[in-house]
């Protein structure tokens, strides 16, 4: 069985390539390397001892996709390709609509042409907007609070429409909470371009001296220590969730959403402290004002993923910090 992984050179994509190869599937990656490095794929091959096929191409380019589908017998697709920076999406919304929605529409049309009807999509907890209560379950109301979130919401709707028009499709909408961590080999991990927007890469870059101090965005939230709380999930657990979703897609039809998280919240200060313990390196910090749009806390109910997919997270915050540190220590400049 052959799985096409769009955006497979990226952070979550590269870890998913490892798990999908280890599960015995053939892997074909398409990525335009706009936010990733070819080195990630070389390291995936090193970790697994297996080879994958790589096409450097833009997923919006339907001719490039047709070539991939005609040269390979693709059985299912995992679709990661897209932009993901919330702040940039506010400043440049059209760039996000063009890339995220454009990639999905071209991919679905070429899948249609080749009769491939199984897709696993990278959605996000952002589709819950400002949730009314915790934990968040899949049937809670959906909304978007920025253009990035709107692209995820629209794509979910596009995929639902695709299924409603042809019930032969299998569509898994995976709503990720906060993916962090790295492969335990230390060979692949998160390598953001520029100054990181997210908490964990910021902490790990302070640890290796690329940044001087952590800026904690607000200490007056309604949480145990006043700093924001999120449901962090180890990227390897997340990647294994994709293997389960692919198995589901091979044995079911339908369009189903699944939360992938741990069901537990961790505050900014708890994550910073866990990283200090795991690395033995101090992380100096200052308290800054709240970041606009941030919520007190967010955490998932993962009951549906457990009962339907047979998946649950197994790695904890200490594992996430230990593996991030190993990756960042050995690759202080990421893949550069």
Q: Is 215 in the site for ligand UDP (CB under 6 A)?
A: yes
Q: Enumerate residues 69-108 that contact ligand NAD by CB under 6 A.
A: 80-82, 84, 99, 103
Q: Rounded CA gap, 256 and 289, in Å?
A: 38
Closest Cα partner for 102 from 61, 44, 45, 160?
A: 61
Our CB check for ligand UDP shows the closer of 97 and 217 to be: 217
Q: Tell the smallest beta-carbon distance from residue 159 to ligand UDP (Å).
A: 22
The listed partner (ligand NAD, ligand UDP, none) that binds 202, CB under 5 to 8 Å by sort, is ligand UDP
Dihedral (C-alpha) 89, 93, 98, 103: value to the nearest 10 degrees? 30
x-marked contacts with ligand UDP along 121-160 as a string, rule CB under 6 A = ----------------------------------------
Q: Tell the smallest beta-carbon distance from residue 273 to ligand NAD (Å).
A: 21
x-marked contacts with ligand NAD along 47-76 as a string, rule CB under 6 A = -----------xxx----------------
Q: Enumerate residues 251-270 that contact ligand UDP by CB under 6 A.
A: 268
Terminal-to-terminal C-alpha distance of the chain: 33
Question: Per the residue annotation, which of 25, 83, 128, 148 is the catalytic one?
Answer: 148
The listed partner (ligand UDP, ligand NAD, none) that binds 36, CB under 5 to 8 Å by sort, is ligand NAD
Residue 277 near residue 102 (C-beta atoms within 8 A): no
Evaluated on CA atoms 101, 180, 21, 327, the torsion sign reads positive
Q: Tell the smallest beta-carbon distance from residue 336 to ligand UDP (Å).
A: 21
Residue 78, Cβ density class (10 Å: 0-12 exposed, 13-18 middle, ≥19 buried): buried
Residues 99-119 as b or e (16 or more Cβ within 10 Å = b)? bbbbbbebbbebbeeeebbbb
Q: Is 216 in the site for ligand UDP (CB under 6 A)?
A: yes
Q: What angle do CA 246, 141, 147 make, to 5 degrees?
A: 80
Q: Is 4 in the site for ligand NAD (CB under 6 A)?
A: no
Closest Cα partner for 271 from 229, 212, 215?
A: 229
148 is annotated as an active-site residue? yes
The contacts found for 222-225 with CB under 8 angstroms, 24 or more apart, are: 222/296, 222/297, 223/265, 223/267, 223/296, 223/297, 224/267, 224/270, 225/267, 225/269, 225/270
Of 3-11, 64-72, 276-284, 322-330, the window that binds ligand NAD (rule: CB under 6 A) is: 3-11
Q: Tell the smallest beta-carbon distance from residue 176 to ligand NAD (Å).
A: 4
Active site residues: 148
Interface ranges with ligand NAD (CB under 6 A): 7, 9-13, 31-36, 58-60, 80-82, 84, 99, 103, 122, 124, 176, 179
Interface ranges with ligand UDP (CB under 6 A): 178, 197-199, 202, 215-217, 228, 230, 268, 291, 294
């Amino acid at each position: 069985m052959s799985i096409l992984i769009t955006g497979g050179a990226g952070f979550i994509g590269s870890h998913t390539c490892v798990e999908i190869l280890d599960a015995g599937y053939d892997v074909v990656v398409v990525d335009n390397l706009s936010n990733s490095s070819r080195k990630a794929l070389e390291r995936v091959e090193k970790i697994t001892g297996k080879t994958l096929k790589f096409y450097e191409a833009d997923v919006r380019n339907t001719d490039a996709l047709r070539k991939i589908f005609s040269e390979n017998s693709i059985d299912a697709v995992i679709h990661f390709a897209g932009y993901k920076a919330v702040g940039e999406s506010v400043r440049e919304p059209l760039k996000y609509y063009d890339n995220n929605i454009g990639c999905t529409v071209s991919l679905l049309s070429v899948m249609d042409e080749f009769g491939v009807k199984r897709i696993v999509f990278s959605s996000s907890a952002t589709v819950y907007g400002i949730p009314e209560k915790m934990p968040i379950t899949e049937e809670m109301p959906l909304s978007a609070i920025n253009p990035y979130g709107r692209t995820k919401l629209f794509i979910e709707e596009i995929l639902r429409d695709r299924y409603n028009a042809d019930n032969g499709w299998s569509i898994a909408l995976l709503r990720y909470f906060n993916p962090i961590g790295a492969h335990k080999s230390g060979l692949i991990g998160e390598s953001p371009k520029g100054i990181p927007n997210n908490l964990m890469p910021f902490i790990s870059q302070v640890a290796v001296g690329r940044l001087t101090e952590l800026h904690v965005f607000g200490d007056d939230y309604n949480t145990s220590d006043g700093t924001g709380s999120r449901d962090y999930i180890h990227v390897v657990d997340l990647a294994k969730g994709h293997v389960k979703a692919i198995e589901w897609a091979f044995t079911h039809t339908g369009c189903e959403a699944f939360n992938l998280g741990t069901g537990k919240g961790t505050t900014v200060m708890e994550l910073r402290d866990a990283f200090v313990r795991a690395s033995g390196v101090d992380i100096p910090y200052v308290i800054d004002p709240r970041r606009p749009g941030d919520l007190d806390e967010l955490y998932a109910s993962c009951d549906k993923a457990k009962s339907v997919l047979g998946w649950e997270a197994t790695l904890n915050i200490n594992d996430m910090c230990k593996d991030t540190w190993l990756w960042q220590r050995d690759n202080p400049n990421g893949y550069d």
